[in-house]
Amino acid sequence: MAIHLLGIRHHGPGSARNVKEFLETVRPDIVLVEGPPEADAILSWANRPDLKPPVAILCYQPDNPRESVFYPFALFSPEWQAIQYALTNKIPVRFMDLPMANHFAVENEIREKKKVGMEKNVSAGREATGGREVEEGREVAEGDAAGDEKAGVTIEPHPLVKIKYDPVGYLATAAGYEDGEKWWEFMFEQRTRNEQVFDAVHEAMTALRQTLPQREDYLEDLREAHMRKTIRQAEREMFGNIAVICGAWHAPALTNMPKQKEDNDLLKGLPKVRVESTWIPWTYDRLSFYSGYGAGIGSPGWYDHLWNYPHDDGTRWMAGVAKLFRQKNMDTSVAHVMEAVRLSNALASLRKLPAAGLEELNEATLSILCHGEPILMQLIQHELIVSNRLGEVPVDIPKPPLQLDIEKQQKRLRLPPTADWKDYTLDLRKETDLERSIFLHRLLLLGIKWGHRSEAGGKGTFKEQWRLQWDPAFSIDIIERGNWGNTTAEAAANFVIKEAEDSGSLAAVSALLAETIPAELPGAVDTLIRQINNLAAASGDVIQLIEVIPGLVSVSRYGNVRKTDADLVLGIVHSMITRICISLPAACTAVDEEAAQHLLDLIFKLNDAVNVLQDPSITLPWQNVLQIMAPNKNVAPVIAGYATRLLADYKLLQDEALIRAFYFAMSTAAEPAIAAAWMEGFLKGSGTLLLIDNALWNVVNDWVEQLSPGAFTQVLPLLRRTFSAFTQPEKRKIGEKVKGGGGGTVMKKAEAGFDPEKARTGIPVVLEILGLQLSFPEY
């Protein structure tokens, strides 16, 4: 009976090569791999040619898909090579970790015990401190040392709390390395031959486990107990040559086994939950520790290169860098590549290394190919060192119905999932692009953010700009949303209706409608419109009504492009604007500066929405409200000024009437702060009016000149805020006009002594210049 324990790092070309060579040498009759036993049933798929790493086993609870875990594999993962060896040689291969059915349930118990413990500590803290505030109780519950002493409560560490540290870091420090990752890569991953490497790793880990403080980790004890149980089971089944592939840290615990009864007692009566598993595509980006993956590595792309080209002296790698640069239209010659390879090998020799590693290659690349520009190294980091490779799984692998429908739609609409960004400009006048847009909007409603939409440019509504990037974690979202339906249309409609029912906010439901209209879900749209109508009828808050109008107007614009009936939306908009016109003047009176600024922003957006609609039945009531608010002394000055500006834009207040309104608001009798606020409202959105109307310019100029130094200091912040909103060209033109001494004079009455006879003699001359012949009656 022989049991071979192979302690490995979960992802590394050196470890993977060592495992492969070891198995080919000892030729075991069964292979046990650290992993979830629930996935034993799908291990046979790993030998399919259309299952291409990187891939991952996804274990999840069907009743709660958010409770899930991934087991990623790359070609250079030792576990993957062990599985491939077993399947190729037709010997049994099994996972031996603690079943996820128990793992999930135990973790839930741990969370509940922690929660109960925190609540007890909070209660004890309140009693000890005479009922202090909850925040102080929270400090105690979190184990803050100062809080514990202050409250008189001693908090013991929970027996299940993990004490985390890095065992490999101790070995690296002993070897003179500051970085454990670099030490491990140098010792194991870059070496092509490692005789007795597993014995050395086993000996080192045994010493660490004996020397370091014992960790209080209940879950790890359960995991190692189940691993031992699986090994014993293989022995009972009369397997005589057993290969065990596990994390290096666990190897000593599987050598010196305790009594079988101790493990059985530890594993007895563990809670369970229902778990399912499947294969999903994975990416090298998600395999890196930059993604937050606990067992992640820093350079998946580089490890892939080491696996495929273990004897490369740097030439292949540098050729890949040069190819990348040329694809980005950056000139790179063969001489650059040769010189960079020579430099990297020279650096390796100076550092007494057997071969150039990634650090040496990066330094040579920076010096030779990047000409010392570190920003170009970011491109290499993303494209080569980490890489954006996406794996593949067979199309006939068992999947949830919603995922099958999504994949079917992706194929039909020619929207392949990729690990890298891919941009699409959709023309909604084309049938295929319209269907693509509908599909992407439905996924957004479901919270599957595969696509990110941006403005396509132009004034029309028939184009959309999308950027797509697939994330393997979307598998969890798809499984979770599968409870709402078997297709994207069904799931999105049911999900939206439920969201609307749970929300009692007019703004939230209106925003949901804006997101639902482009997804073409008629049933859900009807439900949302009815709810908006009911909420609007019951709402007496004019601000809330104004906030939702721009969104609803934007929704109505999709009517022609998407062949959607927008009449129902427009009907709600009409009724809501009518309510707003009735209540707005009162809402703008007796408000402080902050509330007035908020109302000003809302009225600005509301006016834009009214202009978009171009409907006289809406425009006329809106203009009437502006005529009420503009001269009203009780309305906030900034809003009254903006109302006056809008009346001027609508040509309802012009020439002398506009100047009189401006004079009245900016007169010396008005408080400087009030006059400045009125001018801020009048000039909101654009300062062009001051440039083209010399009369208004002089009114403002005269008003500023008559301000006392104290009043000028008082209104200066308001003036700065007003002019800061102007565009840069407007500011420049205004500055030039001030520098030039202004723009003319205000209209004045004719001076006394005007001689009509002299003026009459000049008329024929002017007419002759203009080429006109007119007769005038005698005076």
Between the ranges 175-189, 329-343, 644-658, 730-744, where is the mean pLDDT highest?
Answer: 329-343
Give the residue with greater pLDDT, 377 vs 552: 377
Whole-angstrom Cα distance, residue 48 to residue 70? 20
Give backbone dihedrals phi and psi of 149, rounded to 5 degrees, phi first: -65, -40
Q: Which residues neighbour 90 within 8 Å (Cβ) at sequence distance 6 or greater?
A: none
* pLDDT, average across residues 587-608: 88
- What's the pTM? 0.66
Give the residue with greater pLDDT, 42 vs 153: 42
At residue 539, the pLDDT reads 72
At residue 290, the pLDDT reads 62
* pLDDT, average across residues 242-250: 92
At residue 561, the pLDDT reads 53
Give the residue with greater pLDDT, 706 vs 443: 443
pLDDT beyond 50 at 425: yes
At residue 415, the pLDDT reads 93
Give the residue with greater pLDDT, 214 vs 470: 470
Instruction: Quickly state the pLDDT bin for 346 (edges 50, 70, 90).
Output: very high
* pLDDT, average across residues 204-226: 85
At residue 99, the pLDDT reads 94
Kind of pairing between the strands at 276-281 and 55-61: antiparallel
* pLDDT, average across residues 433-457: 88
* Average confidence score pLDDT of the chain: 81
Q: What is the pLDDT of residues 64-82, one digit of tens each?
A: 887 888 899 999 999 999 9
At residue 128, the pLDDT reads 43
Give the residue with greater pLDDT, 549 vs 773: 549
At residue 773, the pLDDT reads 60
The DSSP bridge partners found for residue 30 are 242
What is the torsional sign of CA 405, 411, 417, 422? negative
At residue 179, the pLDDT reads 77
At residue 707, the pLDDT reads 73
pLDDT beyond 80 at 186: no
For the chain, how far is it from start to end, CA to CA, in angstroms? Answer: 134
Q: Which 8-state DSSP code applies to residue 670?
A: S
Give the distance from CA 465 to its chain's centroid. 17
pLDDT beyond 70 at 291: no
Pick from 473, 489, 481, 526: nearest CA to 68: 473
Among residues of the chain, what percentage have pLDDT more than 70? 85
pLDDT beyond 90 at 320: yes
At residue 191, the pLDDT reads 66
Amino acid at position 377, single letter: M
DSSP structure string for 407-470: HHHHHHTT----SS-EEEEEETTSHHHHHHHHHHHHHHHTT--SEEEE--SSS-SSEEEEEE--
At residue 492, the pLDDT reads 93
pLDDT beyond 90 at 95: yes
At residue 271, the pLDDT reads 92
At residue 534, the pLDDT reads 81
Pick from 248, 230, 243, 310: nearest CA to 23: 243
Integer-rounded Cα radius of gyration of the chain: 37
Instruction: Quickly state the pLDDT bin for 751 (edges 50, 70, 90).
Output: very low
Instruction: Quickly state the pLDDT bin for 151 (edges 50, 70, 90).
Output: very low
At residue 441, the pLDDT reads 94
Q: Which 8-state DSSP code applies to residue 289?
A: G
Whole-angstrom Cα distance, residue 337 to residue 333? 7
pLDDT beyond 50 at 3: yes
Three-state SS sequence of 732-765: HHHHHHHHCCCCCCCCCCCCCCCCHHHHHHHHHH
At residue 163, the pLDDT reads 37
pLDDT beyond 50 at 162: no
* pLDDT, average across residues 171-181: 80
pLDDT beyond 50 at 38: yes
Instruction: Quickly state the pLDDT bin for 760 (edges 50, 70, 90).
Output: confident
pLDDT beyond 90 at 237: yes
Whole-angstrom Cα distance, residue 573 to residue 613? 10
Per the listing, tokens 């991953």 go with 189
Instruction: Quickly state the pLDDT bin for 749 (edges 50, 70, 90).
Output: very low
